[in-house]
């Protein structure tokens, strides 16, 4: 079943810079898709169209058959977005308040909000830190808090924009494990990255972008040898002719 449908999507920024151009893409329910490309290739611009943070100049995005522009609140509830910079995404003065921010915006009652906060924090392994102030958390914990904030809104698609940037090795493993857990729980996952090494072993599909356009789309095995042409480093194992293995194994 097609969950996300993107048709002829183009966007230019107000200063005339091209963001994305003529994107056509469908994402199936439960897929794990990696979108790769060098900086400025349009990955983040594409993601921001999935929940209506940016609206297209031409074209359309549909989630479960409903155009995003028709109901922005619903689109943002269905497509949870975890940004590259966790510090700028965390709005609450405590861990609990940050996770509660989304459900409060959905006008849920307090009992339901507390249940969702507890469930989301337990899901990312931050249970017991409810009263902690966010700036005292480690990089990996902040990223997981940002994920909990999104999970509390019960999305069906979770979109990660460069989820491994600025993280140390344990932080990368924690976040990767979290992404895989969400995928196993039935969420559709989209991850943008310019560093395939950490995540490609788990992807069903690889999309490569360049200059705002999708230039390659297919299975990771088929495309992995072509990535360097588009400014994305081929994973080390693949270069050496070995099987690409998970960072968690």
Partner 1 sequence: MAELTILNYRPGTSVMHTIDPRFKLVCLVLISLSILNTYPLELGVLTLSVVAVLMNIHVSFSSILKELRFFFIFLFFVFMARAIFTPDVANPQDIELKIVTISRQGLYDGALICWRLLIIVMIGLSFVATTQPSEIKAAVQWYLTPIPFIPEKKVAVMMSLMMRFVPVIFNQAKETLDAQRARGVENRKNPVYRLTKFTVPLIRRTFENAEKLAVAMEARCYSDRRTDPELASTRKDWIALFLVIGLCVLISA
The residues that touch partner 1, with contacts defined as CB under 8 A, are 48, 51, 53, 73, 76-77, 81, 83, 85, 87-94, 97, 101-110, 113, 131, 133-135, 149-150, 153
Q: Tokens 């079943």 correspond to what residue?
A: 1
Min CB(98)–partner 1 separation in Å: 8
**Residue among 22 and 168 whose Cβ is closer to partner 1:** 168
Min CB(53)–partner 1 separation in Å: 6
What is the Cα–Cα distance from 169 to 116, expressed in whole angstroms? 29
What is the Cα–Cα distance from 157 to 58, expressed in whole angstroms? 23
**Residue among 92 and 231 whose Cβ is closer to partner 1:** 92
**Nearest CA-CA partner of 175 in 185, 186, 165, 190:** 165
Write out the H or E segment, with its range, that includes residue 216: strand 213-218
Dihedral sign (CA 44, 50, 174, 96): positive
Min CB(137)–partner 1 separation in Å: 12
Q: What residues are paired with 20 via a beta bridge?
A: 11
Min CB(3)–partner 1 separation in Å: 18
**Residue among 94 and 204 whose Cβ is closer to partner 1:** 94
**Residue among 1 and 107 whose Cβ is closer to partner 1:** 107
Min CB(119)–partner 1 separation in Å: 17
**Residue among 10 and 94 whose Cβ is closer to partner 1:** 94
Q: How many CB atoms lie within 10 A of CB 111?
A: 8
């Amino acid at each position: 079943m097609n969950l996300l449908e993107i048709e002829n999507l183009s966007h230019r920024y107000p200063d005339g810079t091209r963001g994305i151009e003529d994107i056509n893409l469908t994402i199936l329910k439960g897929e794990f898709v990696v979108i790769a490309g060098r900086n400025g290739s349009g990955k983040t611009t594409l993601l921001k169209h999935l929940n209506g943070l940016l609206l297209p100049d031409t074209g359309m995005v549909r989630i479960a058959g409903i155009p995003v522009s028709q109901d922005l609140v619903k689109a943002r509830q269905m497509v949870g977005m975890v940004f590259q910079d966790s510090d700028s995404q965390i709005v609450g003065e405590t861990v609990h308040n940050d996770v509660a921010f989304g459900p409060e915006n959905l006008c849920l009652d307090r009992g339901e909000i507390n249940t969702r906060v507890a469930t989301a924090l337990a899901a990312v392994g931050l249970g017991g830190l409810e009263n902690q102030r966010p700036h005292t958390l480690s990089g990996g914990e902040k990223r997981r808090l940002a994920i909990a904030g999104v999970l509390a809104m019960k999305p069906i698609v979770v979109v990660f924009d460069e989820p491994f940037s600025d993280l140390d090795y344990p932080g990368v493993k924690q976040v990767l494990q979290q992404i895989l857990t969400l995928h196993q729980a039935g969420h559709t996952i989209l991850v943008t990255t310019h560093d395939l090494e950490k995540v490609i072993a788990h992807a069903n599909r690889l999309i490569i972008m360049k200059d705002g356009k999708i230039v390659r789309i297919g299975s990771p095995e088929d495309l992995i040898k072509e990535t360097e042409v588009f400014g994305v480093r081929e994973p080390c194992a693949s270069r050496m002719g070995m099987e690409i293995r998970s960072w968690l194994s």
